[in-house]
Every structure is written in structure tokens, then in C-alpha cells.
Amino acid sequence: MENDPFESVAGFAALGLRAELLRALTSLGYEEPTPIQQEAIPPLVAGHDLVGQAATGTGKTAAFALPVLQSLTAGRRDAGPGALVLVPTRELAEQVSQAVHRYGRELGVRVLPVYGGQPIGRQLQALARGVDVVVGTPGRVLDHIERATLKLGDVRTVVLDEADEMLDMGFAEDIEAILAETPESRQTVLFSATMPPRIDGIARRHLRDPVRITMGRKGVEPGELPLVRQSAYIVARAHKTAALGRILDVEAPTSAIVFCRTREEVDQVTETLNGRGYRAEALHGGMSQDQRDRVMGRLRAGTTELLVATDVAARGLDVEQLTHVINFNVPAAPEAYVHRIGRVGRAGREGSAITLAEPREQRMLKAIERLTGQRITLEKLPTVTDLRARRLELTRTALQASLETDDLERFRVVLDSLTDEFDVENIALAAVKLLHEAAGGDVEEEEIPSPAPSAGDRREPRQGGGRRDRPSDSSVARLFFGIGRRAGLRPQDLVGAIAGESGLSARDIGAIQITDRFSLVEVPEPAADMVIAAMQRSTIRGRRPTVRRERFVR
Ligand code: AMP
């Protein structure tokens, strides 16, 4: 384990990043580069083109954002944007520009997300004032190019993020048109979770002698993995802490380690768990060896039941009695998962590995399954009813243990003094109630909404016209959009708007039919109302069309 809290960003310093960026990473609590960052940052800083196969959750955003920021020259106030990042959805445009903003804070970098559905006026003003990094969806970026409000002549780096998703959404031509507006001498970076031949085609046409990086190719040796129960919960980011608390309540681990990505996350999770009545302790690379030893001592002695740690801090840590490893996020590389779960189920003991994944990170779970050759079962979050039942069960167990082992005679006076007036059964019930309340009582919690179920790999042909048949799958809803070909509508506009506004993946959107005046789009039934609500707040090709369920089912 490292002692020096500053040693932890040494990993990033060794990648050749400038001091302003290193300070930003320290303040965000990043302890070490993820594998994709380790491999991608040096060639990118050196100016090479790059093709990286990496999904959400691997840290790919920082892998391209840090080199982009590194090469932005200070005081380039009069020039046009120095970097352009193309992303498939509004959600990702916002996420990536927030990341660029956070990493580039000290450099005073001006970053602007541009996507359809957002009032264009604000974007125009910001562009006119000057922007260093534009993060946008292809449709809206092309709009700006056509209006001459975005000039790409000074662009030094173009990043195509989630390139496979962009192609799935029909943005291939837009991407080609945008690239044609950028200088030939530019650096081009392409990240994609999958590498179908079409992506390779783009890489061949637009990238120069790119460095290629693929993560998670190595297999795991048989015997390297302990036999533990592996499960995962899909939870939206906003509900993760609540979900963690609930899972812990139901699992009731004797001794567990919760892995987090950053120091900030470690502190925040520790605080929440303590607030929930757990004895949780933080362990991260910013702590001195002394502090860490004391925490470990308390865990071994059983005073602490939960350890909340970063990978760096937990390295080399050997705890015999761990029953659970909990990943608060999907680890940045499948290999890290294997490493983490190796800490439970030692010496033939039973153990559990539980992972919380955001909807977009499901692909990483699949990559882990491929690496380990073992299944990770997707579980449903415990409901408030489950939780109540579990708490009652714990109360019952506590009573049973007391009945079996405690000497209860000295309480007989209390019982005897009440039996004249009350029924013994009622007295027992009152005692159970008091015990239950003393142990935390009933659950005063709200249900955690489960994210719109992903239709997984279900795919249907997507076309401009045709497909009039009724969806065979009853879990599909067909939505009416009061906008069509006359307004210049293309399938990718619908996919882009729906995916961008509702957070639904492009893969979840089924057949699309566009007529002159209206369009019909299939979406998963459970997500239909959410999509309608999201679309009512946004615009498509500058209009706000009627969006509702289709009335006439053929
Ligand atoms: P991404 O795969 O780019 O979507 O990143 C996934 C998450 O990991 C984001 O929340 C990042 O803030 C976080 N992250 C990226 N790099 C690191 C790192 N080196 N250490 C800790 N967290 C990171």
C-alpha cells in the first residue's frame, strides 16, 4: 500500500499529464488511472490517432478528455473550437461536457454541449462568445455548421465517442459530413463498445495509422475464481446510495467491503451507511498508513462491519472473515472485478459478490461474464415490503435466540404484574413491538424506481417506411409523433430525440415508420409514458410535435 497521499496520482503523472490536470484529478479523488486510461493517454498525448474498444464504465471519457485538455493552448481566445467530441445522445453530451469542465477547471477551458431539443439561442450565444471544446450530437452539430455558427477550421482533435451507437442511430452520413469540415491534419480518436466492420470502415477512412486498444481480452485461469454467488442490480445513478442501503439491509452481511471509484464516493457512501445504522469505515489512498492500520484492526476485531474502500486502498488487504464484496460501481476493467471478488469465499467459505450497475453499464457486466465464464444473476431491488418482512424476520430471530439462551427469570416480575390486567399474548406482542422499534423499527422509505427495462438485444429492422405489421411483441407500444417527412424528418432524428431525451438506448427503439405528416415509433411498453413525457418537453427539428400513444391499432 502506498503511504503518501500524493503518490496516488503518480500513476497519472507518469502518463505525462500537466500539473493543472493532476491537481484536478486529485481533487476529484481519482487514485489511479483505469486500464483504458493507462493505455490510451500516452499515445493520445503524443498526438497519435486511436481506436479504443471500451464501454461506459471503463473511464473512457477521461481517457480522451485529459489528452484533449493537455493539448489545448492557453489564451487561444480568438480561435474557433480546438476539439470536437461527437456523441450519440443528449445525456452523453451533458455527461462528457461536465467531465471536460471538471478536469479542465484550472485551465479555464470553455466547453459547450450542443444537442437537439435544447433551445438553439443559448448555443448560438455561447458559440459567438467563443468555445474551446464542443461536445455534441451529430445532427445538431451539422445544423450549426450549415448555419455557419460553428466553424471547425481550428479543430485539432475530433473524438467519436460510442461510435457504434452513433451508427445504430443512423448518424453515419452526418459524421462523414462533419469530418469533412475539419482540417485533415487533425487527430482523430474513436471509442466504441463493439467493433463491427462498419466501425472499422470509418477508422480506415478517417484515421491515420491509429493505435488500437482492446480491453478485457485475457481469459481467467480455472481455479483463479472463488465459488461465490454473483449478482447485480441495475439502478439509476440517482438511487444508488439508497439501493445500497437496502441491499445491505436484506443481505445483512457479517463483514463486507464496499468498493467505490473515488475518495469522494468512499466518504459519501461511508457517511450514508453510518446514517443508516451501520458501523462503516472509510479506507482510501489519502489516509496515512497508521489510520489504515487502525481501521483494519477494528474490522478484524468486529467493531467495524463494513469497509468502504477504493481499489488502491484495498490492495494487499487480507481479511479472513469477509462474507460480501459489494461493487458500488461496475469496476473499470473486468480484471479488477476478478481481483475484487477474490477476497471472499476463501478457503471454501461461502461468499457473495454484488454489483450495482447503471443502465448504461450493463455491457460491462457482459464483458465480465465473458472473462470469467460465470453468470452474474440480475436481481430485482428489494421493495419496501421485502424490507419490512426482512426486518420482522430479524426481530423474530433475535427473540428466538433470547428464548434459547438467555436467563429470563428476572423479568418474570414484570410479566406477573401485567397478567392480571392483560392477556399474555398481548403482552408478548407489545414486547415484540418495543424490540422491533429499538432495532430500527419499520421502514419509512419510498420505493426505488427501477429503470426502464432494457429490451436487451432485441432488435427490429428500422426503416424510413414500410413495416405496417402490428408488433408481435405485446410489450411494445407504438407512439404517434405529429411530424413527418414534410418537416424533413429522418429516422435518426426520432431515434436521437427519443434516446437523448428519455435516456432510452437506441437499441430499445423498435420499428420506425415515417409518413408525410406523421410518424410511428415502437418503444418498450413500460417506457412508453416516460418517453411521451420526455418528448413533450423537447423539440424535434425545431418543432414541438404532438406525441401520444397511437389510437388506432391495426
Ligand atoms: P466513463 O467510463 O468514462 O463513463 O467513466 C465512468 C466513471 O468513472 C465516471 O463516473 C468517472 O468519473 C469515473 N472515473 C473515470 N476515471 C477514473 C479513475 N481513474 N478513478 C476513479 N474514477 C474514475
Please report the DSSP string for 27-67 in residue order. Answer: HHT--S--HHHHHHHHHHHTT--EEEE--TTSSHHHHHHHH
Closest residue to atom 1 of ligand 1, CA basis: 59
Q: What is the mean pLDDT of residues 75-101?
A: 90
Closest residue to atom 18 of ligand 1, CA basis: 30
Closest residue to atom 16 of ligand 1, CA basis: 59
Beta-ladder partners of 230: 353
Q: What is the mean pLDDT of residues 31-58?
A: 94
pLDDT attached to residue 214: 87
Q: Residue 451 — φ and ψ, nearest 5°? A: -65, 160
Please determine, for residue 35, whether its predicted confidence score (pLDDT) is greater than 50. Answer: yes
56 Cβ closer than 6 Å to some ligand 1 atom: yes
Compute the CA torsion angle 197, 203, 204, 207 (nearest 10 deg).
180
Q: In which residue are the cell numbers 452520413 written?
A: 173
pLDDT attached to residue 6: 39
CA distance 507 to 495: 9
- The model's pLDDT over 259-291, given as tens digits with 9 standing for 90+, comes to 999 999 999 999 999 988 888 999 988 888 888
* Amino acid (1-letter code) at residue 399: L
159 Cβ closer than 6 Å to some ligand 1 atom: no
Please determine, for residue 3, whether its predicted confidence score (pLDDT) is greater than 60. Answer: no
CA distance 369 to 47: 34
Determine contact, residues 418/427, Cβ cutoff 8 Å. Answer: yes
Closest-CA residue to 240 (of 310, 327, 307, 309): 327
Expressed in angstroms and rounded, the spacing between residue 174 Cα and the centre of ligand 1 is 29
383 Cβ closer than 6 Å to some ligand 1 atom: no
Determine contact, residues 107/188, Cβ cutoff 8 Å. Answer: no
62 Cβ closer than 6 Å to some ligand 1 atom: yes
Closest residue to atom 13 of ligand 1, CA basis: 59
Which atom of ligand 1 is found nearest the CA of 31?
20
CB atoms within 10 A of CB 183: 11
52 Cβ closer than 6 Å to some ligand 1 atom: no
Please determine, for residue 454, whether its predicted confidence score (pLDDT) is greater than 50. Answer: no
Closest-CA residue to 115 (of 513, 501, 522, 533): 501
Expressed in angstroms and rounded, the spacing between residue 59 Cα and the centre of ligand 1 is 4
Q: In which residue are the cell numbers 461506459 written?
A: 56
pLDDT attached to residue 538: 81
Closest-CA residue to 483 (of 545, 547, 535, 551): 545
Q: What is the mean pLDDT of residues 108-123?
A: 89
Expressed in angstroms and rounded, the spacing between residue 488 Cα and the centre of ligand 1 is 38
- Count Cα neighbours of 162 within 13 Å in the Cβ-side half-sphere: 31
pLDDT attached to residue 544: 85
Closest residue to atom 19 of ligand 1, CA basis: 33
Closest-CA residue to 178 (of 221, 123, 118, 135): 135
Q: In which residue are the cell numbers 473486468 written?
A: 334
Compute the CA torsion angle 50, 53, 58, 63 (nearest 10 deg).
0
Give the pLDDT band of residue 222 (cuts 50, 70, 90): low
Expressed in angstroms and rounded, the spacing between residue 62 Cα and the centre of ligand 1 is 7
Closest residue to atom 20 of ligand 1, CA basis: 30
- The model's pLDDT over 316-355, given as tens digits with 9 standing for 90+, comes to 677 777 889 999 999 998 888 988 887 776 655 668 999 9
Beta-ladder partners of 476: 524
pLDDT attached to residue 220: 65
CA distance 196 to 173: 17
Determine contact, residues 371/341, Cβ cutoff 8 Å. Answer: no
Q: In which residue are the cell numbers 402490428 written?
A: 470
Q: Of all residues in the chain, what percent carry a pLDDT higher than 70?
A: 88
Closest residue to atom 8 of ligand 1, CA basis: 59
pLDDT attached to residue 484: 86
380 versus 447: the higher-pLDDT residue is 380
Expressed in angstroms and rounded, the spacing between residue 331 Cα and the centre of ligand 1 is 10
Domains of the chain: 7-215 (3.40.50.300), 228-384 (3.40.50.300), 476-549 (3.30.70.330)
374 Cβ closer than 6 Å to some ligand 1 atom: no
End-to-end Cα separation, the chain, in angstroms = 66
- The model's pLDDT over 459-483, given as tens digits with 9 standing for 90+, comes to 333 333 333 333 344 578 889 898 8
245 Cβ closer than 6 Å to some ligand 1 atom: no
Q: What is the mean pLDDT of residues 5-14?
A: 66
pLDDT attached to residue 536: 82
Which atom of ligand 1 is found nearest the CA of 310?
21
352 Cβ closer than 6 Å to some ligand 1 atom: no
Expressed in angstroms and rounded, the spacing between residue 262 Cα and the centre of ligand 1 is 8
Indicate the length of the chain as a whole number: 554
Which atom of ligand 1 is found nearest the CA of 54?
2
CA distance 379 to 24: 37
310 Cβ closer than 6 Å to some ligand 1 atom: no
Give the pLDDT band of residue 218 (cuts 50, 70, 90): low
pTM: 0.74
508 versus 143: the higher-pLDDT residue is 143
